[in-house]
Structure 1
Amino acid sequence: MSSKQRIMCLAPGRAAPGMVLAKPVHDREGAVLLTAETALDSAVLERLIRRGIEAISVRVPDLRDEETIARELLDVRARIDVIFRGPGSAARSRLRDAVLDYRLENAR
C-alpha cells in the first residue's frame, strides 16, 4: 500500500469521515474553526456545512500512477488554455500564469 498522499480541496459535503485536514479551516471573519491535522467525523462535517464553509483541504491517499498524473497535468494546461484563450493584457497574462501554477500544484 502506498503512503504517498496528496492534498485535495473539497466541499465539506464531499469529504468523508476519517479524512484529515491538511490546512486549518477559517470562518468568514478569519477565526480558526479547525486546525490542520484534525480528523473529520460526520458531526464536524455537518457543522461545517451549516456554517457555510465552501471548501476544505484534506489529505488523501494518492493512488495515481505517473501516467495518470501526467495526463491530469496535460488536462489542466488544456483547460487553462481554453479559459484564457485569445489576446489579453499583461495583467491577464500574469493571472493566467498564477492560475496555471495553482492548478498544476494541486494536480501533482
Structure 2
Amino acid sequence: MTISDINPVELKVFLNHIYEFKKGVRQMVLYTTNKKYEAFAVKRLTDQKISYIIQPVGNGRINLFFGRKECIEAIRLLVKQPLNKLSPEEDFILGAMLGYDICAQCERYCERKVRCA
C-alpha cells in the first residue's frame, strides 16, 4: 500500500491512539479497522517499537491490540477466540485492561453472567 492509498480520515483515530499511548494516557488500545490498513499500522507500530497483536474479525476487518508489552502478552493468553465469544470473566478482564469505566464493566459482567445462567 502506498501512502497515496491511505485515507488520513480513516486512520486519524489510530494515530491519536498511538499519541495517547506514547503520552501515557493509555496502557493498551483495541483498534478495529479495515484489513487494507494492516500493513500501514504494523509499520507504524514496529517503527515506534510498540508491541501489538492482530486478530482477524471477518468482513475484511481486523482487531489491532497494541500497547505495553505486558498487556499484549496477557492478551495473547486471554483472547484466543472472537471477542463476542469471550466468557463474562474474560470480557470483564479485557474491558478493565482497556481502561473502560469499571462500574460499566461491572454492570456488563453481571448482565452477561445472568444471560449465561
TM-score category of the 2 structures, normalised to the smaller one: under 0.3
Higher relative contact order (CA 8 A, sep 6+): 1
Q: Which has the higher helix share?
A: 2
Per the normalisation by structure 1, the TM-score is 0.27
Mark the structure with the bigger radius of gyration.
Answer: 1
With normalisation by structure 2, the TM-score equals 0.25
